[in-house]
A and B are shown apart, each in its own frame.
Chain A
Amino acid sequence: MIAWIVGSGLRFGRLVVAMALGVLAIGIVQLHGADVDVYPEFEPPAVEVQAEALGLSAQEVEQLITVPLEQDLLNGIPWVEDISSRSMPGLSVIELDFEPGTDLYEARQMVQERMTQAKALPNVGTPPIMIQPTASTSRVAMIGLTSKTVSTMQMSVLARWQIRPRLMSIPGVANVSVWGQRDRQLQVQVDPDRLRTRHVSLTELIESTGNALWVSPLSFVEASTPGTGGFVETPNQRLGVQHVQPITTADQLADVAVEGAHDPPLRIGDVATVAEDHQPLIGDASADRTPGLLLVVERFPDADTTQVTRDVEAALDAMTPGLTGITVEPRLFRPATYLSVALGHLGVAGLLALVVFLAVLGSLLRSWRAAAITAVSVPLSLTAAAFVLHLRGETLTTMTLVGLAAAVAVVVDDSVGDVSDVRQRLRSDPTAGEQRATSVVGDVLAARRGPLVVAAVVVLLALTPLLLAGGVTGALARPAIVSFALALASSLVVAVLVTPTLAVLLLSGHESAVRVSPFDRWVHRVFDRIVAPSMGHPVRGLLAAALLAGVAVTAVSLAEPGGVLPPLQDRNVLVRLQAAPGTSLTEMYRVTNRAAAELRGLDGVVSTAAQVGRAITADEVVDVDAGQIWLQVAPDADYSDTLDVIRATVRGYVGLRSSVKTYAQDRVDVARGDAGKQLVVRVYGNDLRILGDTARNVREVLSTISGVQSPSVEVPPSEPTVEIQVDLTKAQRFGLRPGDVRREASTLVSGLTVGSLYEQQKIFDVVVRGGRSTRQSISSLESLLIDTPSGGHVRLGEVARVGVAPNPAAIMHHAVSRSLDVTATIHGRGAEEVADDVTERLRGVSMPYEYRAEVLTDAADRESGNRQLALLVLVLALVVFLVLQAATRSWRAAAVLVGCVPLALAGCVLVTPFAGSLDSVGVLGGIGAVLALSLRQSLVLVRRAGQLRREPIVGPAAGVAARELAPSVVMGALLTGAVFVPPVFMGVLPGLELLHPLALTVLGGLVSSTMVVLFLVPLCLGVLAPDSLRLRTATARAAHETEVPQ
């Protein structure tokens, strides 16, 4: 069949070549505009539901919001693998993890159907919302707004009503959150003593304020039904009636009469202070050491980072003239910069590689015709593969690059081997016309494809375990393998359609193009002088091979596992700071700004942006005791040195836990979660104290099981919380009910939104709240005055107990229940055994009613997954052996291949200490490339030797075949080396973090691979022959014969 395809291609010769050149040109042009990103999407499909309830404690958030949402609404949605939630002061976050492969938008549909019933929740905060789907590395830009003349509150109004809507309308933008937002509110600030003096109750004040406005959310206030103006119908005209709100400022609201009959008539301003102020803050921000607003722009999963960044900056440019007095800094965080720098370096490396490749090609072949074939087919295969990926709409990432780079060795070998074979055949009849050349070329190339297809199949089989790996590793490995396979396939297509035509057009009838080049002669000379004689002493050769294998194995066993992903040279750095639970916003803001100022003063840091706490619908789910500083390192500063100084500086802040990473690394670590813990027993229950006791019980049980080391209970941090509990007897004496006490205290401390003001297409809240002195300290809480039904007042401390107790800073739920984790490491025994033991023992432990403990199967799953993987690898090795046997038609040859080809990796392993760790992606890609290359060349060798003997190969035929293939193998190695030398010399620049170790590994592997293919494999094949002593004479005779026509 392949012969037929080759023949058809040759028939439409010139057309095929024209199309090929067209594809090459279009591919190069189109790839300019391709979507590019650092990593592919690695987060599993998940939906997040958030509900804000400002001022509610963690426990109440859990009781009033999280539990109804989780238990009644979100439990039981199809395809959900895991449901977990986090209740913290003011926020409830529920995360639903879906089975891998679930379509994200279908999953969101399922969740939305349930969410429509959420209006049954208590009216304590904003209704729950489903967070927009965002990419794994979702932050695209951070914009700082600062001003010396405009207040932060006025900037917040602009940001909320002007800037955010404009940015949200940009295609690709999923969410814009505003940090440090201070919502402009009209606040009626109550002093309970003043109210008491004027004999006005809090409820009267609330009603007065609410009824002064058009609209109120409070059902007991008449303004909850504003009514419509109506119209006046004259016989001729209909005149609409509109009521114009007379209140726009605080002074005007202060002039409104207080409800109830008072003598003299009272105004709101007589009993309270009316002022413009903002809501209680859940977070704050500063841009480059100046307090202000920080807008964070996030993108959808399929959006292109560079395009969205450009659009955002263009939109801001257009808006800037209208933002007088405000300094807009749009480049506080810009991943697109890293992408463009990385692409620049990749472009330079690629260009250099191409130049060196062409130079080496020209000097080795000394004939532009022969060189032209390889010069066209190699770039064509790679560009076609990248183009196909782009047409499929896939984003080109570092993983795609690794796959394509690993395929270079194979693509080069394809082309070089084909050309070399064709030249050799045409050499015997150099003056043949096109007709004759066509049939020769057709035969040669069709015949070559057999072993190469087998080699491709074997390599792809070997890569299957990676495809089946789950989690982040699988998500990152898949694009690399897909692009590798695509490059192999396109190389096959090019070799079958384009190379034959080029060969016929350029080589037929030109004797100069097909004659033996000086390089060929040199290789044969070296082979005869060094390799051939050694083949006569098989024992020495095998000993040397064994020695090399031993060194390689020692190197592997000594290798330390490092990070799978090498750190990227991204100049955007994220510093996280975590203080003691319960730290105030003011203090966290102070310390974070001090740290940001010190970091800004370091050499090499060009800008800082600081965030504390959270913002509405933002991507950080933390309380005000956490801060983040986003730094930008100068392009010309030494990256690792600057990072070290930053780390040392941040570590010097006592009382804070810190982490310094790039944003992409931070997101990968968050996605990985706690996949590193070995044994986790989850205890489910309701009461936190009993849960703690049960967990400690479980820990004692675990410590008695052999193999389990250092079990510990992960206690969530707790913070001091003021607890107010109404004493029913005392309250009854005053005629008060607990709910009344709660509502009045809440209004004074937290504030109550009584209505809205509509102004110029903007909506502002009107809030009744206690003045600052009412919530300043615990004793001021005790002194809060509560209205009694009889018209008097009573202090809160007289009807309720006001005390401080530790409360969890955040409450976690797993599978809809409170839980505590007991973690331990496993040592000395297999994880699955230990897990079974633990499950057995736990069955015998008595637990309180409604409590249970479960061994999380993750670790045991992983080990059985590892065992399954090992089994799969073994099965694959067997399948590979059988496939090789079928291809070579000899059991001994297959055995030799399976034994010798892995030795080609010795060079890779020896180079690894310079390239990074053995399990890093770049090194693994290089190993894959070298493996594929050496397997292909060995198979071709075996096939050629078989042809020479016309029977299953043994004996000197292998040596002769090796000598024949030596020039193309060495040329392939030199050309591949030429492509990879520029990335190695350029060093670890941004963009080359993965390519550099890959290139280094391939270079090391090329040396050992050439030696294995040209020396070890023929030697082993010859050893299986009884007449191996005749090796040298047979080779010498063959050498003499081929040299004669010169």
Chain B
Amino acid sequence: MTTRNVCWLALALVTMMLGVTGCSHAAASEHAPASRPAAKVEAGDGSHPARITLSEEAVRRLGIETQPVRTANGSGAGAALVPYSAVVYDAEGSAWAFTSPSQRTYVRAPLKILAIENDRVTLTSGPPPGTELVTVGAAELVGAEAGINGEE
């Protein structure tokens, strides 16, 4: 084997080796899965609060559950009743609940609480009876509205 051939062979081996290592690195970085946005928050202006729209996966992950607003007498007149787990307080102490006007969309609504007994909250004013309120996962919706998400 002449010197020249040996040189070319050595060069070829080195390049191949580098190529193999390089390819494995490139292949690895292509594996990152594409991510759909889990939540879309439309910021509110002065009169309208923000609307939060979650993807189906996000709702399933958080285990969000809703229950309708009831009345004391069962139907029509009577004070409105909501579960205690629907109530969130903001920094100034006003009470809110997340209503769900449509599937996977959530909007904050103000509540005026009369009394809290065990797990039942009696309202003086709030969403009309029959409105779906978020009873499990309200704390995470507070975070979503405040912009707490993503990776540090």
Q: List residues of A whose CB falls within 8 A of some B CB.
A: 522, 525-526, 529-530, 576, 578-580, 583-584, 587-588, 590-591, 594-595, 598, 640-641, 644-645, 647-648, 650-660, 718-720, 773, 776-780, 803-806, 911, 913-914, 981, 984-985, 987, 1000, 1003, 1007
A595, B61: Cα distance in complex, Å? 7
Which residue of the partner chain B has the closest CB to A720?
A: B89
Cross-chain pairs A/B with CB under 8 angstroms, 18 sampled: A526-B3, A579-B140, A580-B139, A590-B63, A594-B63, A598-B61, A640-B28, A653-B62, A654-B52, A654-B54, A654-B149, A658-B150, A658-B152, A660-B151, A720-B89, A780-B116, A804-B93, A911-B18
- Residue numbers of B with Cβ under 8 A of A are 3, 7, 14, 17-18, 21-22, 24-25, 28, 31-33, 35, 38-39, 52, 54-55, 57-58, 61-63, 84, 89-93, 113, 115-116, 118, 136-137, 139-144, 146, 148-152
- Distance between Cα atoms of A913 and B19 in the complex (Å): 11
CB distance from B82 to the nearest CB of A (A): 13
Report how far A651 CA is from B115 CA in the complex, Å.
38
Query: Which A residues lie within 8 Å of B140 (CB)?
Result: 579-580, 587, 591, 653-656
Smallest CB separation, A590 vs chain B (Å):
8
Q: Say which residue of A653, A657, A719, A776 sits within 8 Å of B152 (CB atoms).
A: A657
In the bound complex, what is the Cα–Cα distance between A522 and B148 (angstroms)? 68
* A648 touching B35, Cβ below 8 Å: yes
Q: Which 4 A-B pairs have the closest CB atoms?
A: A804-B93, A655-B143, A655-B140, A806-B91
Q: Give the docked Cα–Cα distance between A529 and B2 (Å).
A: 12
Contact of B58 among A641, A645, A654, A779 (CB under 8 A): A654
Give A579 to B62 CA distance when docked, in angstroms.
12
Is A658 a contact of B151 with CB atoms below 8 Å? yes
Please, which residues of chain A bring their CB within 8 A of the CB of B14? 1003, 1007
Contact status B146-A654, CB under 8 Å = no
Q: What distance in Å separates the Cβ of A665 from its nearest Cβ neighbour in chain B?
A: 12
Instruction: Say whether A652 contacts B22, CB under 8 Å.
Output: no
Point out the residues of chain B lying under 8 angstroms from A1007, CB to CB.
14
B3, A914: Cβ atoms closer than 8 Å: no
19 more contacts with CB within 8 A, not counting A720-B93, A1000-B21, are A526-B3, A526-B7, A576-B152, A584-B139, A587-B140, A594-B62, A641-B31, A651-B38, A652-B35, A652-B61, A654-B62, A654-B149, A657-B152, A658-B151, A777-B84, A780-B116, A911-B18, A913-B22, A981-B17
Closest to A661 in B: B152
| With contact pairs A648-B35, A777-B116 given, residues A579 and B143 touching in the complex (Cβ less than 8 Å) | yes
Q: Are B152 and A805 in contact (CB under 8 A)?
A: no
Q: How far is the CB of B144 from chain A (nearest CB, A)?
A: 4
Q: Which residues of A contact B150 (CB under 8 A)?
A: 651, 657-658
B92 A648 Cβ-Cβ under 8 A:
no
Q: Is the CB of A583 within 8 A of B139?
A: yes
Chain A residues within an 8 Å CB radius of B28: 640-641
Chain A residue with the shortest CB-CB distance to B40: A654
* Contact status B93-A803, CB under 8 Å: yes
Chain B residues contacting A650 (CB-CB under 8 Å) are: 151
CA distance A572 to B74 in the complex (A): 54
B89→A804 contact, CB < 8 A: yes
Name the one of A525, A656, A1003 contacting B3, with C-beta atoms under 8 angstroms.
Answer: A525
Residues of A contacting B115 in the complex (Cβ-Cβ under 8 angstroms): 779
| CB <8 Å contact, B148 and A578 | yes
Given A644-B33, A779-B113, A806-B92, A657–B149 Cβ distance below 8 Å? yes
| Residue contact A580 to B146, C-beta cutoff 8 Å | yes
Q: When chains A and B are docked, how far (Å) is the Cα of A719 from the Cα of B149?
A: 18
User: Could you tell me the distance between the alpha carbons of A584 and B139 in the complex, rounded to whole angstroms?
Assistant: 8
Bound-complex Cα distance A767 to B115 (A): 29
Whether the pair A652, B152 counts as a contact (CB closer than 8 A) is no
Task: Collect the chain A residues with CB atoms within 8 Å of residue B17's CB.
Answer: 981, 984-985
Task: Check B139–A647 contact: CB distance below 8 A.
Answer: no
Q: Which one of A641, A651, A719, A803 contacts B35 once the chains associate, using CB atoms below 8 Å?
A: A651
Kindly provide the distance from the CB of A675 to the nearest chain B CB, expressed in whole angstroms. 16
Inter-subunit contact A718/B33 (CB<8 Å): no
By a CB distance below 8 angstroms, the chain B residues around A644 are 31-33
Residue of A nearest to B138 (CB): A587
The reply to whether B91 and A718 contact each other, CB–CB distance below 8 Å, is yes
A804-B92 Cα distance, complex, nearest whole Å: 6
Q: Can you name the residue of chain A whose Cβ is closest to the Cβ of B143?
A: A655
Distance between B117 CB and nearest chain A CB, rounded to angstroms: 9
Let me know if A579 and B148 touch, CB within 8 A.
yes
Given B22, B93, B148, which contacts A656 in the complex, CB threshold below 8 Å? Answer: B148
Q: Which residue of A lies closest to B7 (CB)?
A: A526
User: Most chain-B Cβ atoms within 10 A of its Cβ — which of A576, A595, A644, A655?
Assistant: A655
Question: Which A residues are CB-close (under 8 A) to B3?
Answer: 522, 525-526, 529-530
**B58's closest neighbor in chain A, by CB?**
A654
Residues from chain A with a CB closer than 8 A to the CB of B93 are 720, 778, 803-805
Chain A residues contacting B136 (CB-CB under 8 Å) are: 590
Q: Closest CB-CB distance, B93 to chain A, in whole Å? A: 2
Q: Bound complex: CA of A529 vs CA of B3, how far in Å?
A: 9
Tell me if B92 and A776 are in contact (CB < 8 A). no
Hey, which chain A residues are within 8 Å of B148, CB to CB?
A: 578-580, 655-657
Least CB distance from B12 to A in Å reads 14
Known interface pairs A651-B35, A653-B62. Does A776 touch B118 (Cβ–Cβ under 8 Å)? Answer: yes
Give the complex CA separation of A804 and B113 in angstroms: 14
Complex: how many Å from CA A1007 to CA B11?
A: 10
B18 touches A914 (CB 8 A): yes
Min Cβ gap B61→A in Å is 6
Choice from B33, B91, B149 contacting A648 with Cβ under 8 Å: B33
Taking CB atoms, residues of chain A closer than 8 Å to B25 are 914
Q: Which residues of A contact B141 (CB under 8 A)?
A: 654-655
CA distance A776 to B116 in the complex (A): 8
**Is the CB–CB distance between B146 and A984 below 8 Å?**
no
A656 touches B90 (CB 8 A): no
Specify which chain B residues have a CB less than 8 angstroms from the CB of A1003 in the assembled complex: 14
In the complex, chain A residues whose CB is within 8 Å of the CB of B35:
648, 651-652
Residue of B nearest to A647 (CB): B151
Q: CB < 8 Å: which of A595, A780, A805, A911 contacts B92?
A: A805
Q: Which residues of B contact A647 (CB under 8 A)?
A: 151
B13 to chain A, nearest CB (A): 10
Q: B24 to A987, Cβ gap below 8 A?
A: yes
Give the chain A neighbours of B143 by CB distance below 8 A. 579-580, 583, 654-656
- A806 CA to B136 CA in the complex, in Å? 24
The distance from the CB of A70 to the nearest CB of chain B, in whole angstroms, is: 28
**Which residues of B sit under 8 angstroms from A590, Cβ to Cβ?**
63, 136
Residues of chain B with a CB closer than 8 A to A803's CB:
93
Asked whether, in the complex, the Cβ of A984 is within 8 Å of the Cβ of B21, the reply is yes
Question: Which residues on the A side are within 8 Å of B89 (C-beta)?
Answer: 720, 804
B120: shortest Cβ distance to chain A, in Å? 11
The answer to whether A720 and B90 have CB atoms under 8 Å apart is yes
Considering the chains assembled together, what is the distance between the CA atoms of A836 and B24 in angstroms?
49
Q: How far is the CB of A576 from chain B (nearest CB, A)?
A: 7
Chain B proximity of A191: nearest CB distance (Å)? 14
What is the bound-complex CA distance between A786 and B7, given in angstroms?
96
| Cα separation A773 to B148 with both chains bound (whole Å) | 32
Q: Are B139 and A587 in contact (CB under 8 A)?
A: yes
Q: How far is the CA of A641 from the CA of B92 in the complex (A)?
A: 45
Q: In the bound complex, do residue A719 and residue B31 qualify as a contact, i.e. CB atoms below 8 Å apart? A: no
Which A residue sits closest to B116, measured CB to CB? A777
| CB-defined contacts of A806 to chain B, threshold 8 Å | 91-92
Provide the bound-state CA to CA distance between A651 and B144, in Å: 12
Known: A645-B33, A1007-B14. A655 touches B139 (CB 8 A): yes
Q: How far is the CA of A776 from the CA of B140 in the complex (A)?
A: 21
User: A648-B35, A806-B91, A984-B17 are contacts. A655–B149 as well, Cβ < 8 Å?
Assistant: yes
Instruction: Please name all residues of chain A whose beta carbon is closer than 8 Å to the beta carbon of B18 when the two chains form the complex.
Output: 911, 914, 1000
> Residues of B contacting A640 with CB < 8 Å?
28, 31
Taken together as a complex, chains A and B put the C-alpha atoms of A653 and B139 apart, in Å, by: 12
Determine the residue in chain A with the shortest Cβ distance to B144: A655
**A704 nearest CB across to chain B (Å):** 28
Question: In the assembled complex, which residues on chain B have CB atoms less than 8 Å from the CB atom of A530?
Answer: 3
Closest residue on chain B to residue A522 by CB atoms:
B3
Question: What CA separation (Å) do A587 and B140 show in the bound complex?
Answer: 9
